[in-house]
Homo-oligomer: A and B are copies of this chain.
């Protein structure tokens, strides 16, 4: 049974989650979201680092164009971005690190929350809860269909409770609000800037992912390393009837690349994936195509395997260009690692979660392959520097799968997640 205070807290966090749901912002455009988060964290008493102070611009991947960024800035201003903070994020560097230094000796703990939405058009049917309850996305083709609205709300609520219970904490607590997890584009820039270089214990969390309501997973290990590539071929147009020999055929380069990308060898150390999701080439039936673009995704059961696939992919892409005398460009627009959770930390999280009594069922680990996540960048960095890291899952009932237009969570999962995370901070900072 929850206390009245908790009821109020739950209502607040649900209200906040629904507000974010109505104003979804995709990667590197989380200006409204971040400005509100920054405002709230400041009110709570955290010291903040914002934008390029916590992000390496050179390590941002798949960042929208300046035009799109500027246009979104205008939208954010008009749609409730907090005026005191939105300027910090206007160039699309929307990360935040909030620090609580207890003044007491102890470890540095970090929690990661991601904030971005997806380019999905939210379901408008009456049966869809956000429609019923009036918090459906206000934007066409933008939707929080992965639960990052919930993550941000959990993060802010954790921030609030931890500040209230500051006396029970030791060491330092860092709350990381990350942009652009979708497409695995944002974590690398915060990692490269060093925001977890001083972290002893790192905990990322996700809601849902197929884990049932009330269940908790202390170590989610199955993330595939991945790389997202955009490839462009540039050739020379020519009239296909009158001077075919003058063309340099970008369409044929892309077609060859596509087929041979799938033909990259399997790897004896583990699973690989390859996809050319989109191929667009040419401008007219009777013109030799002078441009072609492809969106590509590689995956590997380990970072090493993914690096192998990527390296082979680069050779294939280059070779196809050579075949047809066309130029090519490969842009990395996303990247994530594989990562194994630290067993000792996972063991502790299992017991902490079990002991809270908030979860119906706790699992120590889940090793099944489960998509990709760029929190792995933080995890690997922390482990490289001698710390421990884990990735926990808070189960919930989903209306439909992640990235589906009917995706929705059970909001009763939010408060227990806050309580487990808060308890972990208290327990782990005192060890």
- Segment at the interface with B among A22-30, A44-52, A238-246, A391-399: A238-246
Contact across chains for A280 and B277 when beta carbons are under 8 A apart = no
Question: Chain B nearest CB: distance from A299 CB in Å?
Answer: 6
Contact across chains for B259 and A244 when beta carbons are under 8 A apart = no
Given contacts A241-B224, A241-B372, A319-B323, contact A277 B287 (CB under 8 A): yes
- Of the candidates A240, A265, A269, A318, the one having the most CB atoms from chain B within 10 angstroms of its own CB is A265
Given contacts A273-B240, A277-B286, A315-B323, contact A245 B262 (CB under 8 A): no
Tell me if A415 counts as interface (CB < 8 A to partner B).
no
Question: Chain B nearest CB: distance from A119 CB in Å?
Answer: 9
Contact across chains for B268 and A262 when beta carbons are under 8 A apart = no
Tell me if A296 counts as interface (CB < 8 A to partner B).
yes
Query: Would you list which residues of chain A between 292 and 337 have a CB under 8 Å from chain B?
Result: 292, 295-297, 299, 308, 312, 315-316, 318-325
Contact across chains for B275 and A285 when beta carbons are under 8 A apart = yes
User: What is the copy number of this chain in the assembly?
Assistant: 4
Contact across chains for A283 and B288 when beta carbons are under 8 A apart = no
Question: Chain B nearest CB: distance from A313 CB in Å?
Answer: 10
Give the residue of B244, B256, B285, B369 whose beta carbon is less than 8 angstroms from that of A296.
B285
Tell me if A54 counts as interface (CB < 8 A to partner B).
no
Question: Chain B nearest CB: distance from A303 CB in Å?
Answer: 15
Tell me if A284 counts as interface (CB < 8 A to partner B).
yes
Residues of B within 8 A of A124 (CB): none
Contact across chains for A279 and B265 when beta carbons are under 8 A apart = no
Tell me if A371 counts as interface (CB < 8 A to partner B).
yes
Give Cα distance in the complex from A183 to B268, angstroms.
Answer: 21
Contact across chains for A240 and B277 when beta carbons are under 8 A apart = yes
Give the residue of B268, B320, B323 whose beta carbon is less than 8 angstroms from that of A369.
B268
Secondary structure dominating the interface of A: mixed
Give the residue of B228, B244, B260, B308 whose beta carbon is less than 8 angstroms from that of A266.
B244
Give Cα distance in the complex from A356 to B371, angstroms.
Answer: 48
Residues of B within 8 A of A268 (CB): 242-245, 369
**CB closest residue in chain B, given A321:** B319
Contact across chains for A245 and B259 when beta carbons are under 8 A apart = no
Residues of B within 8 A of A400 (CB): none
Tell me if A267 counts as interface (CB < 8 A to partner B).
yes
Give the residue of B258, B260, B315, B318 whose beta carbon is less than 8 angstroms from that of A251.
B258
Tell me if A247 counts as interface (CB < 8 A to partner B).
yes
Tell me if A282 counts as interface (CB < 8 A to partner B).
yes
Contact across chains for A275 and B245 when beta carbons are under 8 A apart = no
Tell me if A71 counts as interface (CB < 8 A to partner B).
no
Contact across chains for B324 and A315 when beta carbons are under 8 A apart = yes
CB-defined A-B contacts under 8 Å, sample of 20: A224-B241, A241-B299, A244-B265, A244-B266, A252-B262, A252-B276, A254-B255, A255-B258, A256-B260, A260-B323, A266-B272, A275-B285, A278-B283, A278-B284, A279-B289, A282-B295, A315-B323, A318-B322, A319-B322, A322-B322
Other A-B contacts than A275-B285, A280-B281, 17 sampled, CB-CB below 8 A, are A241-B275, A247-B265, A255-B279, A256-B259, A259-B263, A266-B271, A266-B274, A275-B288, A278-B285, A279-B279, A279-B292, A286-B297, A315-B325, A318-B323, A319-B319, A320-B323, A322-B322
List 4 A-B pairs, minimum CB-CB distance, nearest first.
A319-B323, A240-B275, A319-B322, A262-B263
